[in-house]
């Protein structure tokens, strides 16, 4: 490989001038911000340039064009690489935004965020997440193509590209996702691996010495290597070969130098996560043959060169729109369905005829969810893509007649993710953010621990993913505390922009699914039981109150002495306690079902006070989980009944009795708060 300490390429060449422009913008933005990661953009600029100018189909004038190629910077710490490309190719990202890198209210945050910056497809930064997102995007593309393309017309025909780093490939989520992608044969997934052999601690040899190419070959990926990360033609050829490989995802390892051109910091950890320093920036620019007296320098010819993306993208989109018009003329109903899917609009009548349940019937809320999906999947025309992490029968996530998605059956809308919770959730984010389909994924609530980073990013990314979390408490029984959630509801509720719904019975489950699918600006967690629960008697309004987060389930006079608040499997015990208190103690009791704090908090204050009158301070909550957070609803005069310790291996009904989740225990707590207030 040539010595990269001096850039030997002709700096009058437009390709090299563009590459050095990207490097200069990265150095300058990080230096001005006094924080950031300059080294990765400097080393990866050549491969990014080749991808964006010779292969990526996109339209800066319309970042949401449905058939654009998707680009993911999984190495999100190198965000200035992406911002430079977006700025130069004409996206709505100004030079002022570049200069305000990492500043308050700027569209150039430290790590890319899809909802802030035009052209950013997914939120990345936590390593490995973008890798998994791309797998989901490739799955979505293939499913949509199979659903809508005809022999003579293609509405969906694009690639998912990404740049991944050493750190991405060290993270376990990328291994899970790579294994899944290889199994699925996602031939339109192409990743460039920025192999610069440096991480924060130093050389990757400290901890990462495997043969990555052999590992990915074992995953059944198409693997190539480019030994010189500045060889534009070699990178171009590798990308061309990758696109020609239609049966396997592709990994192209590109050997690069972090901090390329920096005389003193190239190939060192010092170039990774902090500014080079003013003097080193000047030295590096001189070394690259770049003006060292200019900051944020973009030659006019670079703008002109990269700006051709606008005309090229407009022409590509115009050709697609012409195909779209022809498609509509030949297949009007399917064209209308395609438009609905891409707009995120569910078909008229999608939630009609959902299951009903009779008072007194007993079934687990997971079973009610499965019955609801049996109706929802066909009634939503196939827009729902579901899956489970090897717990399909337990989660009840596969609808009757729902076909399985496989390499040889790409039209299936159900994915067996295997025991890969983290990759499943990361892929679900990619499916959701791709557009055109709505993902739901299932596992036990306890294993939300395994997918927590992706769940958090779904909330941050405003991705409408629905999580089906079953086996929600100590009520699951004999599997014991390793499988019994305690702190998990509190964790989910503590996550901003996450809606958590824990239904009390079958009718509430139906309403929970309605609420989840109406939501388009973030994820929803449905928290469901393994054990059977009775279908509750409720007011004439039925369970529709669930969509307001909390509602009065039982009330004596409208002016209660005490309010009992329950969620999920414990609402039945609140009702049982109310009956005892009325009959034995003459206490006026209101029972409130509160399946979702988040939905309740969005309601007008008048409604919240109607359900929980501020004048009634004697309150008891009951929930088979940590009591964290319940103080806001029970107040200083109330009591939160919950579980602030691990459970035990015993039948579920035994656990519930031993840990005090009974009507009598709830009634006793109500008596205690009433007595204390007297």
> In 3D, which of 69, 405, 436, 408 has the Cα closest to residue 243?
69
What is the rounded CA–CA span in Å between residue 671 and residue 497?
A: 37
Question: Using the 8-state DSSP alphabet, how is residue 601 labeled?
Answer: H
Compute how many other C-beta atoms are within 10 angstroms of the C-beta atom of residue 678.
5
Q: Name beta bridge partners: 224.
A: 252
Give the Å distances, CA to CA, from 370 to 186, 477, 525, 566, 612.
29, 21, 15, 23, 32
Cβ proximity of 61 and 296 under 8 Å: no
Q: In 434-581, which ranges are E strands?
A: 438-444, 466-470, 499-501, 524-527, 532-534, 551-555, 562-566
Q: Give 409's DSSP letter.
A: B
Order of strands, edge to edge, in the sheet holding 250-255? 70-73, 160-165, 189-195, 250-255, 222-226
Q: Are 21 and 299 in contact (CB under 8 A)?
A: yes
Give Dmax (Cα) for the chain. 92
Q: Determine contact, residues 119/63, Cβ cutoff 8 Å.
A: yes
Contact 50, 236 (CB under 8 A): yes
Pick from 450, 447, 378: which is nearest to 414 by CA? 378
CA dist., res. 350 & res. 348, Å (int): 6
Q: What is d(CA 213, CA 228) in angstroms, rounded to the nearest whole number?
A: 16
Which stretches within 470-622 are classed as H helix? 488-493, 506-518, 571-580, 597-601, 605-611
> Is 121 annotated as catalytic?
no
Catalytic residue among 141, 171, 280, 421: 421
* CA angle, residues 138, 141, 145, in degrees to nearest 5: 145
Residues with active-site annotation? 421
């Amino acid at each position: 490989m040539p010595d990269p300490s001096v850039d030997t390429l002709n700096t009058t060449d437009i390709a090299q001038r563009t590459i050095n422009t990207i490097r200069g913008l990265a150095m300058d933005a990080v230096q001005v911000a006094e924080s950031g990661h300059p080294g990765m953009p400097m080393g990866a600029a050549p491969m990014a340039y080749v991808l964006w100018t010779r292969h990526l189909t996109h339209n800066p004038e319309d970042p949401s064009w449905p058939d654009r190629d998707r680009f993911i910077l999984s190495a999100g710490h190198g965000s200035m690489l992406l911002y430079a490309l977006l700025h130069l190719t004409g996206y709505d990202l100004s030079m002022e935004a570049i200069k305000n890198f990492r500043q308050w209210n700027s569209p150039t945050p430290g790590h890319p965020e899809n909802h802030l910056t035009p052209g950013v497809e997914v939120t990345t930064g936590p390593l490995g997440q973008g890798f998994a997102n791309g797998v989901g995007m490739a799955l979505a593309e293939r499913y949509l193509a199979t659903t809508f393309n005809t022999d003579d017309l293609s509405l969906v025909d694009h690639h998912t590209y990404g740049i991944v780093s050493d750190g991405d490939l060290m993270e376990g989520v990328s291994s899970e996702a790579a294994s899944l992608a290889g199994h699925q044969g996602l031939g339109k997934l192409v990743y460039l691996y920025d192999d610069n052999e440096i991480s924060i601690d130093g050389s990757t040899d400290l901890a990462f010495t495997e043969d990555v190419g052999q590992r990915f070959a074992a995953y059944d990926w198409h693997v190539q290597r480019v030994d010189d990360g500045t060889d534009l033609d070699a990178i171009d050829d590798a990308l061309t070969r990758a696109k020609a490989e239609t049966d396997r995802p592709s990994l192209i390892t590109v050997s690069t130098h972090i901090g390329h051109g920096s005389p003193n910091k190239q190939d060192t950890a010092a170039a990774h996560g902090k500014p080079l320093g003013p003097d080193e920036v000047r030295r590096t620019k001189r070394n690259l043959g770049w003006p060292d007296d200019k900051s944020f320098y973009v030659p006019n010819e670079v703008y002109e060169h990269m700006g051709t993306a606008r005309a090229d993208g407009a022409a590509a989109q115009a050709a697609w729109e012409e195909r779209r018009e022809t498609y509509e003329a030949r297949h009007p109903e399917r064209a209308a369905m395609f438009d609905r899917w891409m707009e995120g609009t569910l078909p008229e009548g999608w939630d009609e005829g959902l299951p009903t349940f009779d008072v007194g019937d007993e079934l687990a809320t997971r079973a009610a969810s499965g019955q609801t999906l049996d109706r929802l999947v066909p009634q939503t025309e196939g827009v729902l893509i579901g899956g489970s992490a090897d717990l399909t029968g337990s989660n009840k996530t596969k609808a009757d007649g729902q076909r399985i998605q496989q390499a040889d059956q790409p039209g299936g809308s159900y994915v067996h993710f295997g025991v890969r919770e983290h990759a499943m959730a990361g892929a679900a984010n990619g499916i959701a953010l791709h557009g055109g389909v709505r993902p739901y994924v299932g596992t036990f609530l306890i294993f939300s621990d395994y997918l927590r980073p992706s769940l958090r990013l779904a909330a941050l990314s405003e991705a409408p993913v629905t999580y089906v979390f079953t086996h929600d408490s100590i009520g699951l029984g004999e599997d014991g505390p390793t499988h019994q959630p305690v702190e998990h509801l509190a964790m989910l509720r503590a996550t901003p922009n996450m809606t958590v719904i824990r239904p009390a019975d079958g009718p509430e489950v139906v309403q929970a699914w309605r609420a989840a699918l109406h939501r388009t600006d973030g994820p929803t967690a449905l928290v469901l039981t393994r054990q059977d629960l009775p279908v509750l008697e409720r007011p004439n309004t039925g369970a529709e109150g669930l969509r307001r987060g909390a509602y009065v389930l039982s009330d004596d006079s409208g002016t209660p002495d005490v309010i009992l608040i329950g969620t999920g499997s414990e609402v039945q015990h609140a009702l049982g306690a109310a009956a005892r208190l009325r009959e034995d103690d003459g206490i006026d009791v209101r029972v409130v079902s509160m399946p979702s704090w988040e939905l309740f908090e969005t309601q007008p204050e008048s409604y919240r006070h109607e359900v929980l009158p501020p004048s009634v301070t004697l309150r008891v909550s009951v929930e088979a989980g940590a009591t964290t957070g319940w103080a806001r609803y029970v107040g200083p005069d109330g009591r939160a009944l919950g579980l602030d310790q691990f459970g035990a291996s015993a039948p579920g009904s035994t656990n519930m009795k031993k840990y005090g989740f009974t009507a009598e225990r709830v009634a006793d707590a109500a008596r205690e708060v009433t007595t204390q207030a007297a």
